[in-house]
Amino acid sequence: MPRIFTERTKRQITCLDGMWFFKTDAENKGTENGWFNGFTNGEQISVPSVWNTEFGLTEYKGAVWYSKNFYFCGGNLRLNFEAVMTYAEVWLDGKLLGDHYGGYTQFDFYVNNASEGEHNITLRVDNSFNEDSIPQKKVDWYHYGGIIRSVFAEKVDGALVTNTRFDYDLSEDLKSAKCKFTAEVLNTESFEVYSPLTLYFEDKKIFETEITLKCGEAKTITTPEFDVSDIRLWDIGKPELYTISAETETDNLFDRVGFRKIEVKDEKILLNNKPIEILGVNRHEEYPDFGFAFPKALMKKDIDIILNLGSNAIRGSHYPNSKYFVDLLDSHGILFWSEIPMWGVGFSAETLGRPLVIERGLNMHKEMLKQYFNHPSIIIWGMHNEIPTESENAYNISKLFYSFLKENGGNRIVTYATYKPMEDICFEFCDIICLNQYYGWYYGDNDSWPEFLKEFKAHRNSLGFEHKPVIISEFGCAALYGERTFTNIRWTEEYQTEMLTKAINAFHNEPMVGGFYIWQYADMRTCWEAGMTRARGFNNKGIVNEHRKPKDAYFAVQKTLKTFKEEK
């Protein structure tokens, strides 16, 4: 799926979305049978999609193959995959190009001097799990598999601009900034290339140099520091954006940036030097009829529904969302928390010590940072969710991820969500303490919140972290859409309404709490392992159902958030 703005104008880009030939490989015989040479008959599937919405494949886990012929005009080719669930191996005309692990981030391959004419691209995609998988088999969402975002074939020549990164440091009064602009360039030709490289901020040329790249060489070029004055700040509901671009003789890359300052000071979260209260929702990028191949129109609709609620923040639980969605957040002034799918109880303390798990986790952070760095809406990098943070292995992994994200992640809060507030030993590795708690659902009742907050505050202070604000990163309860009774019992809309409004008021009245993310925005399909205890096989804690129909709680939360605004 392209971005919401034009990213490149010098490349010839062909979108390979549409019908692909497809077959399952339950016996794992495809490689042996030479399927990587391509197949262009039999069943077809639409790309992007998840195979689980096809007849007979709802519960299929394992290997599948995709194959498609396409016309290429000749020259150097880039094959660009926005996201494939979960492990992908890619062949062009029977030749292995490489592989990629991790279902929610982009990856690519370059082929030098591809001939003009028809080519075949074939993928083996595997969504099965083992002890080194991220996430592990036990998650509370559905085990979808497939090419979930778009695929592109691009003709590339000469010195390529492969990525940009815009760093800035705002002045005290936030009126000007010292900036640095970095461009990554690459030569995929079989000969040395030479090109001017020009970097622009809006229409202004800010840096010009000449680059020479040997065959296969990549370079990272950073401008000297430059000033931008009279800054229009990016803020909640005030999405001021600027365009940056990098250009060589044969290529260019545009992106959008915004200036904003996020900071944690004396128990408060400050955005652009002003305290904010995060009024957020957790959102899975999932719709049961399309799985993770989430339609663009529904992204826009979700944003409209969430803004209409009075919310100012979304947590992308529990994986990097489509860039198209994050673009929409940038241009609507909504705060975003982006995290990797290192989810929960699936991870034992032992698993967290496995070298491949650590390596994959770090690599997922690296990819997320590189691909999402310029988005002003991302104010939080999330390292993991509900892992056993009472263990030494969780301590070590948190330390590693935290130092990587603090060093390379720009002006952002780094945190993780814990469900073990009293046993957690990793609080030194977060800028704000984020708690997932389910009073009124799994334990306690709807009146337990003030007492819990009091106890946790004493605990936090006893650990010496009184300066760290707390966010309730998850709280909620299930309500079946339309389920009402005369008695206020669990699973009903009135119980959910009471639960959420009591909790939200308790958070709002406790100065230590810097905000909350309701679990969750919309009902979503969950996997068999978790679904056994979940009505309909869905996680029903949405304040809208899976078709985005509002439950009573939606309007009650809307009303509560309105009163918070009126207080100001």
- Return residues touching ligand ADA (CB under 6 A): 140, 317-318, 344, 385-386, 419, 436, 474, 519, 539, 541
Q: Which is nearer to ligand ADA, 16 or 345 (CB)?
A: 345
Q: Select 321 or 331, whichever has its Cβ closest to ligand ADA.
A: 321
Q: Which is nearer to ligand ADA, 170 or 417 (CB)?
A: 417
Minimum CB separation from ligand ADA for residue 389, in Å?
Answer: 13
Q: How far is the CB of 124 from ligand ADA (least distance, A)?
A: 29
140 or 330: whose CB is closer to ligand ADA?
140
Closer of 252 and 539 to ligand ADA (Cβ): 539
**Nearer Cβ to ligand ADA, position 76 or 526?**
526
Question: Between residues 255 and 386, which has the closer beta carbon with respect to ligand ADA?
Answer: 386
Find all residues with CB under 8 Å of 290, minimum gap 6, and list them: 49, 50, 53
Going by their DSSP bridges, the two strands 313-316 and 335-339 should be labelled as parallel
Closest distance of CB 156 from ligand ADA, Å: 40
**Residues making up the chain, counted from first to last:** 568
Nearest residue to ligand ADA, scored by beta-carbon proximity: 140
Nearest-angstrom CA–CA distance, 517 and 313: 8
Instruction: Work out how close the CB of 371 gets to ligand ADA at its nearest, in angstroms, rounded to a whole number.
Output: 23
Q: At its nearest, how many Å lie between ligand ADA and the CB of residue 188?
A: 41
Nearer to ligand ADA, 150 or 540 (CB): 540
CB of 422 vs ligand ADA, minimal distance in Å? 16
In angstroms, what is the minimal distance from the CB of 139 to ligand ADA? 8
How far apart, in whole angstroms, are the C-alpha atoms of residue 122 and residue 100? 14
Write out 546-559 in H/E/C secondary structure. Answer: CCCCECHHHHHHHH
Beta bridge partners of 256: 243
Kind of pairing between the strands at 278-282 and 274-275? unpaired
Closer to ligand ADA at the Cβ: 147 or 530? 530
Residues 435-438: contacts with CB within 8 Å, 24+ apart? 435/470, 435/471, 435/472, 435/473, 435/474, 436/385, 436/386, 436/472, 436/473, 436/474, 436/475, 436/519, 437/472, 437/474, 437/475, 438/474, 438/475, 438/476, 438/477, 438/519
101: which 2 tokens? Answer: 């692990």
Q: What span, in angstroms and rounded, lies between the C-alpha atoms of 246 and 90?
A: 29
Angstrom distances, CA of residue 340 to CA of 258, 320, 360: 23, 6, 10
Q: Whole-number minimum distance, CB 284 to ligand ADA, in Å?
A: 8
66 burial via Cβ count (<10 Å: 0-12, 13-18, 19+): buried
The answer to whether 115 and 99 have CB atoms below 8 angstroms apart is no
CB 436 to ligand ADA: min, Å: 4
Cα–Cα distance for residue pair 321/339, rounded to 1 Å: 9
